[in-house]
Amino acid sequence: MLIDQINKLTGDKYYFLRLNQAIVDKDKRLVELCFVIPRDVDQNVWNDEAKAEILQACQQLLPPTFDVKIRYVKTAIDSDVIKRLVKDYFIKNNKALIGQYDDKAIKIDIEGKKVKVIIPAYDHICDYCVKSGVKEALHDYLDSNVIADFKIEFLPIGNASVSNIGVSEEIYIDRGLVNVTGKKALMGQGVDVRPKYISRSNTLKAGVCVAGRVSEFSRNISKKGYIYYKFTLNDTTESMKCIAFTRGKKHGSLDCVEDDNCLVVEGELQEDGDGKGRILRVEKADLCNVDFDGIIEAIKASKEIEKNKNKAVVKPLESHGTLNLFDMTMPTCPLLVRNDVVVFDLETTGTDVRTDRIIEIGAVKISGGEIVSYYETLVDPKMKIPAGASQVNHIYDSDVAGAPYIEDCLGDFLDYCKDCYVVAHNGDGFDFLFIKRECDALGYSFDNKTLDTLTLARKAYSYGSTPKLKNHKLGTLCKFLDIELVDAHRAYNDAEATAKLFIKLANTLNLQ
């Protein structure tokens, strides 16, 4: 830890320093550090000489090819400041818990440099925060912003309905991450990825990381004399078969493993060669302790919140333009009669599905052939929004500050799409790819039937059908079909226009 190394180099003279932020700009070869110091720091200790000594220590500790810039922020131990920081922590790091505790009832006890923070919350939320590491993370966050000796306490207040506190539009979503401790590398160079529930790790791909209790462990010898292992892991959510190959002929890296040990492993999930399911080909493996109770409590909390989940995020349609989409003479096609459809649009930081991030999701639902509701949320992409993207969609860093992360709202969006056809304009080349990437990363499945209005439009209307139709862009098609498109390149507005386009296309093509 940088602070520990600075204290070692400076003889602990600046023990009161806290590292609040570190930003590395590889292009500029620059490291910017922000330290927090007490407002009442002794001026005999804290002066220009002290700042110069700390700068020198940082330059010594950081790569010599990087420049170092340092700024200092003075903070006082103030109850209002601490309450605000508690709220800021949840907004930045776990927005799904906003509304699950009573922020107005937070109590701050200050005795000199000792600060006790008492947070009333429902019983299952208290258990979750303690067992999932939220309590420790909140402590570290406060410690990095205020110079004090913090003690965090979550105070159980029973299991009353969420409505007793005040319903938030955010919901608790179990992210499916497993807490492991005491890792000891056995195979590879150590697992440095956070494992996910086995039940959410069913996509055939590399980089799958799971943890659990070992059973059916066997040590085997290949035809060429090499050692390999087969075993099963169970984390209480599901089981996964694993196989690990080694280059040893006498000794293998997993020789010490036995049934009932716990392992965290990383590798590629493949179809099993015997055609009986899937198997993880292990590349890294660590002995560890697995927090099974934490998994059980997180799932329990998720189910408890699901019972009272606020559906206000799904709102009645506030249409731009006419809602009477069936003033046309053609009948409604079978697909629209028999199925609900969600039409959605994304705004992103750019067009590269590998590196760019979602910053807005907008969707509308069609039921019985009519638009009935909409879903809309901004998304914090955990990166600066490029100026070029903002010029197109008019979404700026200030707009997404405090918005949920994708892991906090993707589950809610998928709930909105449940049992529906899912439609987007150029979805096959853009929107579906972003959603599938995030689902793979977070352990969700996206197996809805999909339709692309770009593909449908190319079937329905050729370029030569009218002089107005020069291409099949959304704006061009809307103008051609007299569909109002307000504030293009905002997700909800584009989704509503696309929904009206889809209804027209589905009826024109008589989709079954």
Same-domain status, 121 and 201: no
Using an 8 Å Cβ cutoff, are 109 and 115 in contact? yes
The stretches of 231-386 forming alpha helices (DSSP H) are 292-307, 334-338
Same-domain status, 282 and 318: no
Same-domain status, 325 and 461: yes
Q: Which pLDDT score is estimated for 171?
A: 38
Residue 6, domain member (yes or no): yes
Q: Which pLDDT score is estimated for 425?
A: 94
Q: Which pLDDT score is estimated for 371?
A: 83
For each successive 10 residues of the chain (512 residues), what is the average pLDDT?
A: 81 78 80 78 80 88 85 74 80 64 78 86 76 82 80 75 34 67 89 86 85 95 93 95 90 92 94 82 94 84 52 45 39 83 93 90 86 84 89 86 81 88 93 91 86 91 64 85 70 85 91 87
Output b/e per residue, 189-212; b: 16+ Cβ within 10 A: eebeeebbbbbbbeeeeeebbbbb
Map residue 38 onto helix, strand or coil.
Answer: strand
- Number of domains present in the structure of the chain: 4
Question: In whole angstroms, what is the distance from residue 457 CA to residue 454 CA?
Answer: 5
CATH assignment of the domain containing 396? 3.30.420.10
Same-domain status, 320 and 265: no
Same-domain status, 325 and 466: yes
First to last CA, the chain: 61
Q: Phi and psi (nearest 5°) for 96?
A: -65, -20
Same-domain status, 61 and 96: no
Same-domain status, 91 and 55: no
Residue 104, domain member (yes or no): yes
Residue 384, domain member (yes or no): yes
Using an 8 Å Cβ cutoff, are 143 and 150 in contact? yes
CATH assignment of the domain containing 232? 2.40.50.140
Write the DSSP string, 5-23.
HHHHHTTTTTTT-EEEEEE
Question: Minimal CA–CA distance to 424: which of 474, 358, 390?
Answer: 474
Q: Which two tokens stand for residue 303?
A: 């189910």
CATH assignment of the domain containing 117? 3.30.70.2210
Question: In whole angstroms, what is the distance from residue 318 CA to residue 493 CA?
Answer: 10
Using an 8 Å Cβ cutoff, are 291 and 179 in contact? yes
Q: Which pLDDT score is estimated for 102?
A: 65
Residue 300, domain member (yes or no): no
Question: Minimal CA–CA distance to 135: which of 158, 147, 149, 119?
Answer: 119
70: left (phi > 0), else alpha (psi -120 to 50), else beta? Answer: beta
Same-domain status, 91 and 63: no
What strand order describes the sheet that includes 30-38?
A: 18-25, 30-38, 67-75
Q: Which pLDDT score is estimated for 215?
A: 96
Same-domain status, 71 and 109: no
Question: In whole angstroms, what is the distance from residue 233 CA to residue 217 CA?
Answer: 9
Which residues pair with residue 51 across a beta bridge?
A: none
Q: Which residue is associated with the tokens 């600075």?
A: 6
Residue 350, domain member (yes or no): yes
| Spatial CB neighbours of 330, under 8 Å, sequence gap ≥ 6 | 507, 508
Same-domain status, 359 and 483: yes
Using an 8 Å Cβ cutoff, are 128 and 297 in contact? yes
Residue 305, domain member (yes or no): no
Question: In whole angstroms, what is the distance from residue 327 CA to residue 438 CA?
Answer: 39
Last residue of a domain, one of 135, 164, 193: 164
CATH assignment of the domain containing 38? 3.30.70.1350
Same-domain status, 432 and 326: yes
Same-domain status, 220 and 129: no
Residue 169, domain member (yes or no): no
Residue 457, domain member (yes or no): yes
Residues annotated catalytic, as ranges: 489
Q: Domain range holding 422?
A: 314-509
Using an 8 Å Cβ cutoff, are 73 and 35 in contact? yes
